[in-house]
Chains A and B, each alone.
Chain A
Amino acid sequence: MKVDSATLTQIIDKCFDLSMNLQLQLPDRQNFLALGKRLRGSLLNLISAQFNAGTPQVINANNQIATVSGQVAAVAQNLQNIAQTAQSLATLASTLDGLLTIAASFV
């Protein structure tokens, strides 16, 4: 099984878009840029990673990706819950970093 790279890509894309959205304050924009870059680093490391079927950490990570995707989309939509979403993004990045050590193979 693999990490949900398609949804993760959408999250990264929205982070960069928010970093260029003048409706946000500059510090928030800088924060979304930093988070987008960090998640992209995770994407690069995980995009070719294969995991054993049913690996709980990957299932958990993919669930987190789905949740955070909704949060980021909501921020892009109504510019609310910015701080909470940023925290969720940081937590996701940490979760993804932890997956590298348990990958079965890289193709």
Chain B
Amino acid sequence: MNWAAKGSISITLPVLLSVSLAGCVTANFTEPVTSFRDSVNKSGAVVSTYYTELNQFEREVYLDDALYSAKQIGTTDAGGQPTPLAGKALSPESIKARTDAIALLGAFAQRLGELAGSEAPKQFSEGASALGENLFSLNKTFEKLGQDSATQKAVDKTAKDYAGPIGAIVGALGKMYLENRRDAALQEAINNGAPPVRAVLSLLQQDLATSIEPLQETGLKQELAERVNAYNTSLTAQPLPSFDQRRAALNDVGAAAARYDAAITANPADLIQNMRQAFEALLTYANSSRAPTDLAQLVTALQTFKNNVDEVATQVNRLLLLRKGQKT
């Protein structure tokens, strides 16, 4: 081994170390962005359900009231206003505006995911390995010029040993350069997206908290109260309802109570709040020094978001099944 080669080893080791560390941090940024994207997409599907199901839900509450109160029904009430039977509690344009806003959040998260998962650095690394092989061939060519056979043999041996590492270093440096560019692009995308994302999240959260949730909770409580009152009123009748009739009525009360409980548990406004917190954590991390503690905080926020999405999605599905009269 010649001294020039030894010198090369001492220089490349720190470079390799810093390259590998930079690679680890950037790779860790990819996973959180992907997790955020997946949770946003799942949230979007859950929240959209509330809007698209609203008119049908109000129709059900209206007909339920007619059943228990023995009322006439119509698409226009006595005051000239459309009833929920007409299915216009929320206009199609209003529903579309809200589902479009949700889709916009999903598109933003999707783009972040695509940027974070870009294959360009990997392709560069593979190309750089081929470059390493070419360097070895070039080195061998040089060795044929004016060297005695003994020296030539020694140089040939060491040159072969270095072709692989040379290629790896070139590849790693190139990968680090491209990943840093990708990292910078991600940071820019997240920062630029922050104002509109925050605006959309605020609007959705307020809308869900002031419109959707109140209607759902009061509607399901009304159905419960109807059934409770109907049962209690029936106990004043002569003759008393039969044992089977009372059991059927009480089963109905129990089912209505379960639907109400499911609605209380599934809180879509809180889901948007979790999405907001996860996005702010992503924003904080993007602008941080990317220390392990920064990453740990981000991972915690994203896990909380994911857990909440999974829980709300389960409750929403359960509520939909209960409304159809199916057991869960």
B interface with A by C-beta (< 8 Å): 58, 65, 79, 81, 84, 89-91, 94, 210-211, 214-215, 217-219, 221-222, 224-226, 228-229, 232-233, 236
Q: Is the CB of A40 within 8 A of B84?
A: no
Known: A40-B219, A44-B89. Contact between A16 and B225, CB under 8 A? yes
Q: Mark A61-89, 1 if CB is under 8 A from B, else 0.
A: 00000000000000000000000000000
Instruction: Number of A interface residues at 8 Å Cβ cutoff, please give it.
Output: 25
- Set of chain A residues within 8 Å of B236, measured between Cβ atoms: 26
Q: Complex: how many Å from CA A5 to CA B217?
A: 13
Q: Complex: how many Å from CA A29 to CA B233?
A: 10
Q: Complex: how many Å from CA A33 to CA B226?
A: 7
Q: Is the CB of B232 within 8 A of A29?
A: yes
The one of A6, A29, A45 that contacts B81, using a Cβ cutoff of 8 Å: A45
Q: Is the CB of A48 within 8 A of B218?
A: no
B310–chain A nearest beta-carbon distance, Å: 28
Q: Is the CB of B222 within 8 A of A16?
A: yes
B53–chain A nearest beta-carbon distance, Å: 15
A interface with B by C-beta (< 8 Å): 5-6, 9, 12-13, 16-17, 19-20, 26, 29-30, 33, 36-37, 40, 43-45, 47-48, 97, 100, 106-107
B235 to A, closest residue via Cβ: A26
Main secondary structure of the interface of B (DSSP, over half): helix
Q: Which of B81, B224, B225 has the most CB of A within 10 A?
A: B225
Q: Complex: how many Å from CA A5 to CA B214?
A: 8
Q: Is the CB of A26 within 8 A of B210?
A: no
The one of A26, A48, A107 that contacts B233, using a Cβ cutoff of 8 Å: A26
B117–chain A nearest beta-carbon distance, Å: 38
Q: Complex: how many Å from CA A2 to CA B84?
A: 21
A32–chain B nearest beta-carbon distance, Å: 9
The one of A9, A19, A29 that contacts B214, using a Cβ cutoff of 8 Å: A9
Known: A6-B214, A13-B217. Contact between A48 and B90, CB under 8 A? yes
Q: Is the CB of A30 within 8 A of B229?
A: yes
Known: A26-B236, A44-B89, A107-B94. Contact between A16 and B221, CB under 8 A? yes
